[in-house]
Amino acid sequence: MSETIICAHRGLDDVAPENTLAAFTPALEREMAIEFDVRMTADRQLVVLHDPTVDRTTDGSGSISELSLADVKALDAGSWFGPHFADQRLPTLDEVLELVGSHQHVSPSIALDVKGLTPGIIEMICDCLEEHKMIEEVVGIGSIIRSADVRREFCEASSTFQCAAVAEAPEDLDAALDDGYSTWVYARFVTTREDVHQVNRAGKRLIVCGTEVSLDVDSAHDAYKAGPDVILSSHPSKLAELTS
């Protein structure tokens, strides 16, 4: 069994502002994968941002869907975390993929959370990933995990895009494994070795997250010891200490 990959939720956001290159770089340098969120601007550019508005993580305000890329790039996305991060800007998907490509140590290296299924966004995401030769390094989560229709659309846009289907509890694993549009299971519970074996025997891979696993590092460590492919954690540094 290969070693479980720790995936840093929005980067190392305990040391740098979330979803910025400053948060992603140290995670990648520590041989972690990164999770981030993608949205579309008013002029149909793909940017990395969790919230539907820029209010919480920048010095601006308003919906990302009503701002142009130039508007977005003028915002300070780091000072709220600390004055020495004042030069941080909301990154584009292109910029993050370039960073991952130059720092990649694990595979998959990205858990991609798609926020807001704006018309055309699926094709644009797949085209961007293909252009950077990163499409096989991505696990699609977020709105993807709960909708077979969304997974189908991604598979139609790119046959190599890897979708995950959700399992809220161990009894949901069979349904997730039967899903024809996913190659991953997204388990929202503390998995056991038997859960991992069940997924792997079915020819799929397992990413573990959910509120308990993401927020409680001890629960994440318990899940890690079962040997899933990826653990998505909001405390990746602490989890790495426990697993070293």
Q: How far apart are CA 37 and CA 242, in angstroms?
A: 27
Per the annotation, the verdict on 197 as an active-site residue is: no
Q: How far apart are CA 138 and CA 159, in angstroms?
A: 13
Per the annotation, the verdict on 221 as an active-site residue is: no
Q: Which amino acid does the sequence have at 144?
A: I
Task: Give the position of tokens 């997974």.
Answer: 151
**Active-site annotation, residues:** 9, 50
